Every structure is written in C-alpha cells, then in structure tokens.
Amino acid sequence: MRITCRTTLLLIFVLVCMPVFAQTKDALHEGFLNPPDDARPMMRWWWFGPAVTKPELKKELEIMRDAGIGGVEIQPVYPMAVDDAAKGIRNLQYLSPEFLDAVGFANRTARGLGMRVDITLGSGWPYGGPKTTVDLAAGKLRVVRVPLDGPEAGSGGPQLRPGDKIISVVDGSKLETELARRLELAVPDPNHPVNASKVYFIAGHTGQQVKRAAFGAEGNVLDHFSRAAIDEHLQDVAKPLLKAFGDEPPYSVFSDSLEVYGADWTENLPEEFRKRRGYDLIPHLPELVAGGTSEAEAVRHDWGKTLDELIRENYLTPLAEFAAAHHTQFRSQTYGDPAVTLADQDVPQLIEGEGMQWRKFSYTRWATSAAHLYGRDVVSAETWTWLHSPAFRATPLDVKAEADRMFLLGVNQFVGHGWPYSPESAGEPGYAFYAAAVFNQHNPWSPVMPDVMRYLTRASWLLRQGKPANDVAILLPEDDAQAAFTPGHVSIADEMEKRIPPRLMEEVLDAGYNVDFIDAATIEKLGTVPYPVLILPPVERIPLSAYRKIEAYAKAGGKVIAVGETPSRAPGLMEQGDSAEIQLISSRMFKGDGRTGSFLSSESELGAALHKALAPDLDVTGQTAGLGFIHRRLDDRDVYFVANTSNQAIDAKVRFRSDKRHVQTWDPEDGVVHGDVRVDGSQRLTLRLEPYESRVFVLSASSRPATPDKFLGPSLALVPVENLSRDWDVSFVGPHVYRGHLDSLVSWTRMPNHEFFSGEAVYTRNFSVQEPGNKVLLLDFGEGKAIADDRPAGADGMHALLDPPIREAAIVYMNGKRAGALWHPPYRLDITGLVHAGENRLEIHVFNTAMNELAGQPRQDLTELRAKYGNRFEPQDQEKIKPVDSGLLGAVRLMTAPVQ
C-alpha cells in the first residue's frame, strides 16, 4: 500500500498523521470504498470505418470492463484502412443492416458485462449526412456587391450557389453616407464601392460537411435552426440506430459540441424574427452587417436572441423529446457555434462539458454551472482530448493532472477521449484517433489502468454526494455577447472568453472561493440568485426584469459586486425604453449612502471585496500556487476535494469554513480513511501536497471510533536505510526477451537495441533488513524534476510538467506479494507488512508509452486510403514522435520512519 501519510495533515501544534478509523456501518464511506459501477469513467469508442467484427467487439468490451471502465459511447468515424479480406477488414456502410447488427451486438454484450452504452445520433460531428439536402443544410447570410454601372452592371445580379435565395437588395447610392461607409468596411470590395453598387443579401449555406464521417455518413451538416432538418435526421438516422438496440435502449443519445461554423441564418428567420421581436429584420440588414452604432448592436442582439430561441426549440427540444419517447436520455455538449446560451442547457437531460481550463472561462465550467443551477447531480465532461499529443504520448500522470482539474470544475463523470477500436490486423500499437489519448490494451501502461480508474471512480462518486457548495456566481454578459455578433460569428461561448477575463477568475479562486456562472435567463427562471455572492463583470446590457431580480436579491442580503462597469442599457431594439430604469437601478445599487452593492474599478480589488462579503471557503496561506478545491455539502458532513495542479510541491496552512469540527482524510486510491482530528474555527491545518497530488477531506460534527494503528512522527521523519539504486537484474517482456544486469539505473533508450522498445520490463534484486521493530519501512523512488511548458500560448490540450523518476508507471511486488502501483507523486510505498528480517525479494514491473515503438516505425502511408475515401483526417503532431526516456530513473532507497 502507499504510505498512509503521503499527504502530511497536521494541526499547527501537533505534527502527526491520524490513525485509521474502524470501518463502521457508514453509508458514505461504504459507497466511497466500493462505488457503484455507474461512477466509473466511460470511453468514447471509435469504430473506424466502421470495420468492426463481433469477436473483436466482445474482446474489447471485456478488456474495458476488467480495466475499470464503466461504459462506452459508440462513435463511428472515418476508415483507417481499405477493405482487405486477408486481414479481415471490411468497412460496413453506416446504417447498413450489418452495421446496425454490430450496434445491437455491442449493446447486448456490454449490458451483459454490466456496462453502460451510449450512442451518438450520427457519425463524426455535427449532425448531418447524405439525407441532409441543401435546403436542410446549415444556413449562412451572404452579402455580395454588384456594380450599378460598368461591364458587370448588366450581369443580372450575383452568381447564386445551390440553395441560395436573394432576400433583399439595397441600392448603395441611396444609403446614408455613414451607413454606406460602415457597410463598405464590413463587406470590403475595392472594385465595387458601396455607393456605386447594389448590395445583395442572400440566404445561403455554409457548405460545411460532417467532420470525420464514417463510410456512408458523408454529407451536409444540418440546419440546427430548422425543425424540418432535425426531424429528417431523427427519422433517417436516429430511429434506425435506436431500433438496433431492441428492447434495451441506450443509457443516453449524444450530441457533440455544435461546431456548426458560420451558421447564422435559416429559411424562416425573417418570419420568426418579426413574430418574436416585433419588427421586420429585412430593412435592418445593412445595419446588422455594418454594425458600429447602438441601433446596429440592438438589431444584432435581437438577431442572436432569435437564433438562440430557434436552436433551443428546433434542435435541443426535439432531441430531448425524442430521447424521452424512446426511453433514454439526451446528453449534450451545448456550446460553441451557433448561438446557444447557458440557460439552454436545461433542455438536455444530461449536461456535458469539455476543456480543463479551471482558472479562466471554459466550456466545462459553463456545463457544470448549468448542472448546479438546474439540479443535475451528475455532470460529465469529454476528457483527455489532445492530452499530451501525439496519440500514445499521454501517461497516467497526465491523465490524473487533467482529471483533477475537471474535478475542481465540478465534473463527476468522465467520458474518456478515448478508446480506438483496433483489431490484431492493425498491428502494434494499433489504431489511434487523430487527436486524442489512447486508453486501450495496446497502450503499454494499461496494466495500471485499473488503479487509475479506481482513483477516478471513487472521487467521482464522492463528488456526486450532497449538493455543490460554490459561493460565488459570475453573471455571463450574454446580451452584450449577442450585441457583438457579426455575420458568421454567433457563438456566445466564444464571446465569453473575451468578456470573463482570466484575471477575474484568478482573483476569485485565489481568494479562497469556488465559482459558477449564471445568466440573466436563469435568474429570471429561478427568480433569484442562489449564491451568497454575485459578481457582475463589465456589463452594459441586461434585461430589466432580470436586473430587478438582482436588485431584490441585494436588498434581501445577497452580495452584489460590480467590476469596471455597471449595466446601463436594455438589450433589444424594442426594449430601449427600459434603459432609463436600468440606469436608475445601477445608481441605487452602486452609488450613494443607501447602496446595496459594491463597485470595484478593477479585478485586483476583488479578493478584498469578497473577504469583506463572506469568509473564504478554504482559507489558505503559504506556498499555494496551483492549489484548487471543490466543496460538496451533505446534511451531516462537508467534503472538500483539494488538488495541487502544479509541478511544484505545496506547503500551506488551511482553514475550512465549516461548522463541522472533526477532520478526516479519505484516500481515493485505496479507500482508506485517516482521522480523526478536532479543530476549532480559528485553527489551521498544515498541508503538504506533492506535484499533482490530491486529497479528500471530510468534516463531520462528531468523532468516530478508531482502531489502534501505527502512524508516523513529525513530518514523516524519514531516515535512509539503504540505497537500492545499483545492481538490478532486468528483463524485457516480449517476443525478443532480453535479460541483463544494470550496475546503475538508466533509461531504456540508452540500452543497446532498446531505444525503440515499448512495453514492460521487470527489475529484480534482493536486499536484507533487520527486524523493523517500531518503525515503518518505505520504498522511495525520488521526487521527479519540474519542467517548463514550452508549448505555444493557446495550444490545445495539456500534460503534466514533470519528469518523474518512474517512466511511466510501475507495479511493485515484495516477496511475491503486490505492494502497490506507482503512477503519480509521491513515488513512495509502505512495505512494512511485506518484508521480514533477513533477505527479501523486490520485483518492479515498469511500463512506458508506445512512443518509442512508434518512433522506430515508418509513418502510416495514407495514399491508398485517401484515394478510396478522401482526406478525412490529418494525424496530429507526427513530428513529435521520438523515443522518450523510459524505466526506473531515480534513486531507489529504503527508508524508515519512527512510529508514534
């Protein structure tokens, strides 16, 4: 087992770790120790081609189950090979009887293994395909100028593309001078000045095709604003898929992040706009395109609001209703392009996010906030997309580093990205998705996958208990975002990255609080702000009804803090009469003696203002860079998940804002509970976390009976006993077994003929000890070395910035018994109960990544594949495929510590 005090938790005046509690009938701990299978991470299961066979499907599902994976999301994508009977490769056409039979078989097999099955209602993303005709395809407003005179004047107008419809023609010579100037800037065309042109406004189409489509799933992306488009898709794609499941429907049907780039129009938009906004959009098209005035911004807002309502009513709602009618649930990544809002996430039954950015705006916090607001106890995230690219480079430490950030964001269900279907004919290491980590059995470190999954499962389950306890809500200025929309760019989530500055998020988090987002529509729906503190970032536009509710919240004792700017304007063109009252509310709340809110000129003042409003939830002092937490509140306990997200150790003193006085630490890796120590409200606990280490603290009102147990003395008090870094026998597992002797520990890449080895090596040696007596014996592998992040700013994905002493994972055996797995700091095991006086046998199985093997292989020749199916994907970061250090690299030492 790991040393029980790997995180040193101490009272300021008592430097000890706590005894282990007896495992009494405690439902919370029982669930933590043996969490249900539904808390296990899932995997997105890419079916390439789809060229799948039933024996391979069954085999991969069984491997997943044994690895601790709880379910799959079936995602058919592009072919990886042409048909080859000799290799058993046959690409099944999407939605063919053979393909649907494979779907049904996979569902039955997974259910028999106790696993969850989800399915994407399409191939690749976004929805669309061969049945999506141009009239049902994603729409876009096009603007074209045609000269009033000259050789092109008699051309009869612009050249139209398939599906184009002219919706308005404006004589540029009759436009007001200022509007003509702005329109000329918005639609640059030096050959055709606006005042000498006719300007054609055309309802066209984006031309976007389904990305990463499977064989037979190619085609247009559908119009997400059109009910006819989604109805066609449900009829021709979703219903056959659901029929394949028989009387065991999937747990959920899935819609990936929207990514309908450039979509901003639909055929009936003018009619719907007039009905909803109360005026005609067509005469305002020059203003909408040109921008630059308050009137133009109001029109753009109304256009964006109408688009949002249409996607909610004509895409999200039909999918949720379809799922319910077919006895399943709709799981959706409701963000991106086009114009969805945070409040729209109340439509899907299951909410999902993406992105590990926990200290700035992210799609994941967008999703978890909605889940908290709308009462979804479970919220998932697509996780490990782009993790340590290229494919196969990711390590177990990378997995934990990103997963812990997801926990801090509020995620408690992982959908791993992912598991490539890879038959034996694909060789080693087999297929990989073009932009993702690989978690299948071809990954050399897969033997520690059960340990990794066990950690994630326990923490996921525990963070579903009780209710979220985030203190601070940040208002998303969605109405300002809609007013900033321009043709081809109608994403609220993208606008939020500009309007919620990272500095604002950092100030809140560093002050000791966690945070959710909220929008005006949600405040109106709930009738108030369900948080102690509401922060208004710079906001200009807000609906009057929502602002009145914010003022009422402040009068009732809620803390409202505005930063940089206070609301002054109503959002839509027909609502401008409300602006005066909005300005009055701002004046009442933030000016004068009777003000109920606080106004700050910059984000730098936020920490002090928050401390004045509410004591920190986690009050931290010391070396704390990279420290994060999330808090769940139960009826009788408080649960805090605390993580070090950095590559430097954290030494801090912490105080929890809880009326519960008894503190325990719960270990998600082995389920062991350490405790109990009693604190009062003023006392701090001293906390040390190694790089990328995490810990769960459970606070309760009363102590629990403890059984006597050894615990370590001050600061571990580690004493070296013997250096075991020399004289190892090593054998490499595989078809060409190598056995040798190492005088010192070096990387496999420095051993003759092993530069390109990926897999497992077994290190063995003997050592002798005396009777340990009243001491704990530890096996210590060293600390690792922090490395700099050399990636360009804004690069996709992440990885742990640490060169560990074990590259990349190890399973340790003492005298033939498993002592534990090591795959993240601290690289230390308690072996006290496994050694005896005299000679002992130490055996360490070490696993690296597949990068070394890949580096020794030629890159895949895609010529034949692309000749058959076209260029459907581009392998990422191939230039980074190089051998990496592998094996045991640190100083291995036997250590002791006295027992108190």
Q: How large a percentage of the chain has pLDDT more than 70?
A: 95
CA 505 to chain centre: 17
Question: 699-750: per-residue pLDDT in tens?
Answer: 999 885 443 344 433 445 788 999 999 999 999 998 766 788 999 999 999 9
pLDDT at 1 over 60: no
Cα–Cα distance measured from residue 238 to residue 252, given in angstroms and rounded to the nearest whole number: 12
Residue 21 banded pLDDT, cuts 50, 70, 90? very low
**pLDDT given for residue 592 in this prediction:** 84
Residue 86 in this model has a pLDDT that exceeds 80? yes
Q: What is the pLDDT of residue 152?
A: 61
Please state the separation of Cα 823 from the chain's center in Å: 22
- Considering only CA atoms, which of 26, 17, 27 is closest in space to residue 674? 17
Helix (H) or strand (E) holding 227: helix 227-233
Token code pair at residue 28? 């919370």
How confident is the model over 14-33, as a mean pLDDT? 62
pLDDT on residue 708: 36
Chain segment 223-247, per-residue pLDDT in tens = 999 999 999 999 999 999 999 999 9
Mean model confidence pLDDT for the chain: 93
Contact 788, 875 (CB under 8 A): no
In this prediction, residues 884-895 reach a mean pLDDT of: 96
pLDDT value of position 704 = 59
**Secondary structure string (H, E, C) spanning 350-417:** EEEEECCCCCCCCHHHHHHHHHHHCCCCCCEEEECECCCCCCCCCCHHHHHHHHHHHHHHCCCEEEEE
What's the pLDDT at 479? 99
Q: What was the pLDDT predicted at 696? A: 97
3-state secondary structure of 99: helix
Q: Is the predicted pLDDT of residue 399 greater than 60, yes or no?
A: yes
What strands lie across the sheet with 726-733, from one edge to the other?
738-744, 726-733, 760-769, 838-847, 809-814, 817-822
* 855 membership: H or E segment, kind and range: helix 851-855
**From CA 332, how far away is CA 323, in angstroms rounded?**
12
CA-wise closest residue to 63 among 458, 384, 422, 350? 422
Residue-level pLDDT at 35: 98
Q: Which of 715, 628, 711, 660 is nearest to 410 (CA)?
A: 628
* Burial (CB count within 10 angstroms: exposed 0-12, middle 13-18, buried 19+), residue 349: middle
CATH superfamily membership of 9-32+616-705: Golgi alpha-mannosidase II (2.60.40.1180)
Structure tokens at 759: 């897999």
Residue given tokens 């809620």 in the structure block: 558
- Residue 14: the pLDDT is 33
| Every domain of the chain and the residues it spans | 9-32+616-705, 35-120+349-468, 129-225+262-292, 472-612, 719-849+884-898
Tokens 């000679």, residue located: 839
Distance of CA 565 to the CA centre of its chain: 31
Measured on CA atoms in the order 186, 191, 195, 200, is the torsion positive or negative? negative
10 Å CB burial of residue 861 (0-12, 13-18, 19+) is exposed
* Rounded Cα gap, residues 643 and 282, in angstroms: 53
pLDDT at residue 680, rounded to an integer? 80
Q: Rounded to 5 degrees, what are φ and ψ at 170?
A: -120, 130
Bridge-based pairing of strands 838-847 and 809-814 is antiparallel
Percent of the chain with pLDDT over 90: 86
Q: Could you tell me which of 394, 238, 456 has the C-alpha nearest to residue 850?
A: 394
Query: pLDDT digits over 408-467, tens only?
Result: 999 999 999 999 999 999 999 999 999 889 999 999 999 999 999 999 999 999 999 999
Which one of 3.40.50.2000, 3.30.420.40, 3.40.50.2300, 2.60.120.260 gives the CATH number of domain 719-849+884-898? Answer: 2.60.120.260
Distant-in-sequence, close-in-space partners of 45: CB < 8 Å, separation ≥ 6: 60, 72, 73, 74, 75, 418, 419, 421
Over the stretch 736-755, which tens digit does the pLDDT of each residue have?
A: 667 889 999 999 999 988 99
Could you give the CA distance from residue 868 to residue 865 in angstroms, rounded to a whole number? Answer: 5
> What pLDDT score does 190 carry?
84
Assign 774 a pLDDT band (cuts: 50, 70, 90): confident
Return the bridge partners of 331, or none: 254, 350
Angstrom distance (rounded) from CA 848 to CA 853: 10
Q: What is the pLDDT of residue 9?
A: 41
pLDDT digits (tens, 9 = 90+) for 465-519: 999 999 999 999 999 999 999 999 999 999 999 999 999 999 999 999 999 999 9
Separation CA 900–CA 897 (nearest Å): 9
627-633 β-sheet, strand order: 467-468, 627-633, 637-644, 694-700, 662-666, 673-678
pLDDT digits (tens, 9 = 90+) for 261-302: 999 999 999 999 999 999 999 999 999 999 999 999 999 999
Indicate the pTM of the whole model: 0.96
CA distances from 836 to 217, 576, 768, 839 (A): 63, 82, 9, 8
Evaluate if residue 393 carries a pLDDT over 90: yes
Q: Hunting for tokens 């906004």 — which residue is that? A: 277
Decide: residue 226, CB within 10 A, 0-12 exposed, 13-18 middle, 19+ buried: buried
Query: What are the structure tokens assigned to 445, written together?
Result: 């470190």
Tokens of 636: 């009788």
Please check the confidence at residue 775 and state whether its pLDDT lies above 90: no
Q: What is the pLDDT of residue 795?
A: 77
Whether 3 has a pLDDT exceeding 80, the answer reads: no
Secondary structure element (H or E) that encloses residue 775, with its range: strand 775-780
219 or 20, higher pLDDT: 219
Q: Is the CATH code 1.10.3470 the one for domain 472-612?
A: no
Query: Rounded to whole angstroms, what are the CA distances from 199 to 173, 267, 720?
Result: 10, 20, 81
pLDDT at 900: 57
The tokens for 763 are 């290190």
Angle at 829 between CA 729 and CA 403, to 5 degrees: 110
Instruction: Say if residue 20's pLDDT is above 60.
Output: no
- pLDDT tens-place string over residues 44-53: 999 999 999 9
Dihedral in degrees, nearest 10, Cα atoms 308, 314, 315, 317: 100
Distance CA 620, CA 618 (A): 6
Cα distance between the two ends of the chain? 19
DSSP string, 241-269: HHHHTTTS--SEEEE-----TT--B-TTH
Task: Please name the helix (run of DSSP H) or strand (run of DSSP E) that holds residue 548, with its range, or none.
Answer: helix 544-555
Exposed/middle/buried for residue 86 (C-beta within 10 Å: 0-12, 13-18, 19+): exposed
Cα–Cα distances in Å, from 817 out to 271, 708, 811, 843, 894? Answer: 73, 25, 11, 9, 17
For residue range 134-188, list pLDDT tens digits in order.
999 999 999 999 988 866 666 678 999 999 999 999 999 899 999 999 999 899 9
Per-residue confidence (pLDDT) for residue 18, from 0 to 100: 40
Tens of pLDDT, residue by residue over 354-391, are 999 999 999 999 999 999 999 999 999 999 999 999 99
CA distance linking residue 459 with residue 667, whole number of Å? 9
Structure confidence at residue 398 (pLDDT): 98
Beta bridge partners of residue 720, listed in sequence order:
895
Confidence at residue 736, expressed as pLDDT on a 0 to 100 scale:
67
